[in-house]
């Protein structure tokens, strides 16, 4: 049975924890709003890029001489997994869910006898994958200094990936991130970016447009940008998901702390009452003995 | 025929302009062009340069853009640029930053010449030239930016 003083200290410490988690929740809520606005602002560009790409790729796919970013290298042997996680923890299952998906993916590919390489973005994913897959790491992108992800960050990651692709280091690249569904639901997602996937329902001919320069040059120019756009979209989704996950995790933590304080307070009051009763009994029995 | 068309300038991070215009002058990769309402549908890649909008009332607005393309339709133009700034926002500092990007591309291309092929190197050299021309056009010094490490 803890003493009254112990209980009081305990309550104090849980109260402090609750203050912290409450503050983190509110900060996450503010950041979430900003992250959502950023994702919203990026949508027009991504949508138009996707629309133009859909027309172009549908035309070019299947033709010989299509750029390698679209047609692939002709092999499916070496895979690059780009695992994008957060730089910070305390965000519920945010980081683990991405890592888990990437892990499943890596295991499946290795089971099929394929080569796997991993490029990590964000410290947390790297830490979690290090023990099992440390030897597969090819590069790490550190975003801990970045307050707000910008297109420049996405392009730096893309340049890194494309340089490896040009050097012939891998055949297929897949990015892993959390798609933001709502504050309480983020869906870990794997998306293949190289070679580009041709949407199945894309209109095959968009000959309405006159292309300047030619269609092929245009495609060669746009493909790397399209990859960067997809990476950027994933980074933004990730940023929103991270804040959403942190917000609900901290909301839970705050509520748990509240429950705990209630329980401890009840216990404290009971102990106090017990002590008083005990003293009273002692006094009364002392008086009766006289 | 309507005498204005809808113009949208979007960068990956935000939408920069969405206004009705009478004409737009674009720095196309194969040469400058002007788009007016009723233009044949076209998709044009752009070199770094100034985009000039002529509004319905004849006033002009200028934007500096790098790395993008324009989708032109009879009644609308969408310009997708990796970077875009209204002219009045371009200070030497912003320009240095843009210049640095071009220099980085240039250096990457020349360093890996045998990997990427002559075409890419030529494109990078052209990019540098276009950026310098852009700076001179605005009246900024293209030589202040230092090559990044």
Query: Which pLDDT value is given to residue B112?
Result: 75
Which residues have C-beta within 8 Å of that of residue A7, sequence separation ≥ 6?
A264, A267, A268, A271
Question: What percentage of chain A reaches a pLDDT higher than 90?
Answer: 55
Q: What is the SS3 assignment for A194?
A: strand
Which tens digits make up the pLDDT trace of B107-127? 877 777 776 677 777 777 878
CA-based nearest distance B42→chain A, Å: 4
Distances (CA, A) of A153 to A141, A241, A252, B109: 9, 18, 32, 20
End-to-end CA distance of chain A: 33
- Pick A166's closest partner by Cβ from B11, B78, B116: B116
- Asked if B30 and A212 come within 8 Å (Cβ–Cβ), the reply is yes
- Asked if B43 and A209 come within 8 Å (Cβ–Cβ), the reply is yes
The separation between CA A263 and the C-alpha centre of its own chain, rounded to angstroms, equals: 35
Query: How deeply is B101 buried, as exposed, middle or buried, from its count of CB atoms within 10 A (0-12, 13-18, 19+)?
Result: buried
Q: How far apart are CA A242 and CA A35, in angstroms?
A: 10
Which tens digits make up the pLDDT trace of B34-70? 999 988 888 898 888 889 999 888 888 989 888 788 9
The separation between CA A254 and the C-alpha centre of its own chain, rounded to angstroms, equals: 22
pTM (2 d.p.): 0.85
Long-range contacts of A261-267 (CB under 8 A, 24+ apart): A261/A11, A261/A14, A261/A15, A261/A18, A264/A7, A264/A10, A264/A11, A264/A14, A265/A11, A267/A7
CA-based nearest distance A250→chain B, Å: 29
Confidence of residue A228 (pLDDT cuts 50, 70, 90): very high
Which tokens in the block code for residue A162? 């494309």
Cβ of B122 under 8 Å from any chain A Cβ? Answer: no
Q: Is the pLDDT of residue B82 over 90?
A: no
Confidence of residue A1 (pLDDT cuts 50, 70, 90): low
Q: Which of A37, A44, A56, A218 to mutate to test the interface with B (most CBs of B within 10 A)?
A: A44
Query: How deeply is A167 buried, as exposed, middle or buried, from its count of CB atoms within 10 A (0-12, 13-18, 19+)?
Result: exposed
- Asked if A212 and B28 come within 8 Å (Cβ–Cβ), the reply is yes
Confidence of residue A243 (pLDDT cuts 50, 70, 90): very high
Q: Is the pLDDT of residue A64 over 70?
A: no
Cβ of B125 under 8 Å from any chain A Cβ? Answer: no
Which tens digits make up the pLDDT trace of B14-29? 888 899 999 999 998 8
- More confident: A18 or B75: A18
Confidence of residue A129 (pLDDT cuts 50, 70, 90): very high
CA-based nearest distance A48→chain B, Å: 8
Query: In terms of CA atoms, which chain A residue is nearest residue B117?
Result: A166
- Asked if B11 and A151 come within 8 Å (Cβ–Cβ), the reply is yes
Q: How far apart are CA A221 and CA A256, in angstroms?
A: 53
Which of A48-57, A59-68, A121-130, A212-221 is the most confident on average?
A121-130
Which tokens in the block code for residue A214? 């030619």
Query: Which pLDDT value is given to residue A205?
Result: 52
Chain A partners within 8 Å of B44 (Cβ): 212
CA-based nearest distance A38→chain B, Å: 7
Beta pairing class for A210-212 and B42-46: parallel
Which tens digits make up the pLDDT trace of A88-101? 888 888 999 999 99
């Amino acid at each position: 049975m803890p003493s009254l003083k112990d209980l009081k200290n305990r309550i104090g410490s849980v109260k402090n924890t609750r203050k912290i988690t409450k503050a983190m929740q509110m900060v996450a809520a503010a950041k979430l709003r900003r992250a959502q606005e950023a994702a919203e602002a990026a949508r027009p560009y991504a949508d138009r890029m996707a629309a133009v790409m859909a027309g172009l790729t549908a035309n070019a796919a299947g033709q010989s001489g299509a750029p390698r970013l679209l047609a692939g290298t002709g092999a499916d042997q070496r895979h690059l997994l780009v695992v994008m996680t957060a730089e910070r923890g305390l965000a519920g299952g945010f980081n683990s869910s991405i890592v888990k998906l990437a892990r499943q993916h890596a295991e499946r590919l290795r089971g099929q006898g394929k080569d796997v390489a991993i490029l990590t973005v964000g410290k947390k994913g790297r830490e979690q994958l290090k023990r099992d897959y440390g030897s597969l790491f090819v590069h790490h992108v550190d975003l801990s200094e970045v307050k707000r992800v910008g297109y420049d960050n996405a392009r730096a990651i893309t340049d890194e990936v494309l340089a490896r692709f040009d050097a012939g280091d891998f055949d297929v690249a897949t990015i892993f991130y959390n798609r933001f569904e709502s504050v309480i639901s983020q869906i870990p997602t794997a998306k293949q970016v190289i070679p580009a996937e041709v949407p199945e329902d894309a209109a095959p001919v968009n000959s309405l447009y006159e292309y300047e320069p030619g269609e092929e040059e245009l495609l060669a120019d746009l493909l790397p940008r399209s990859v960067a756009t997809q990476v950027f979209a994933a980074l933004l989704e990730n940023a929103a998901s991270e804040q959403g996950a942190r917000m609900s995790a901290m909301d839970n933590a705050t509520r748990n702390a509240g429950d705990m304080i209630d329980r401890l307070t009840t216990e404290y009051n009971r102990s106090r009452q017990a002590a008083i009763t005990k003293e009273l009994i002692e006094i009364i029995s002392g008086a009766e003995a006289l | 025929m309507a005498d204005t068309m809808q113009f949208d300038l979007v960068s990956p991070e935000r939408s920069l302009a969405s206004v009705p215009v009478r004409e737009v002058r674009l720095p196309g990769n194969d040469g400058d062009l002007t788009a007016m309402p009723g233009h044949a549908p076209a998709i044009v890649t752009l070199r770094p340069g100034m985009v000039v909008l002529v509004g319905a009332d004849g006033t002009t607005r200028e934007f500096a853009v790098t790395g993008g393309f324009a989708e032109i339709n009879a009644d609308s133009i969408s310009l997708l640029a990796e970077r875009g700034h209204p002219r009045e926002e371009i200070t030497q500092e912003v320009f240095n930053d843009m210049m640095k990007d071009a220099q980085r591309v240039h250096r990457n291309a020349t360093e890996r010449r045998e990997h990427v092929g002559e075409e890419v190197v030529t494109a990078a050299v052209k990019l540098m030239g276009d950026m310098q021309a852009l700076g001179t056009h605005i009246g900024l010094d293209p030589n202040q930016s230092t090559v990044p490490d």
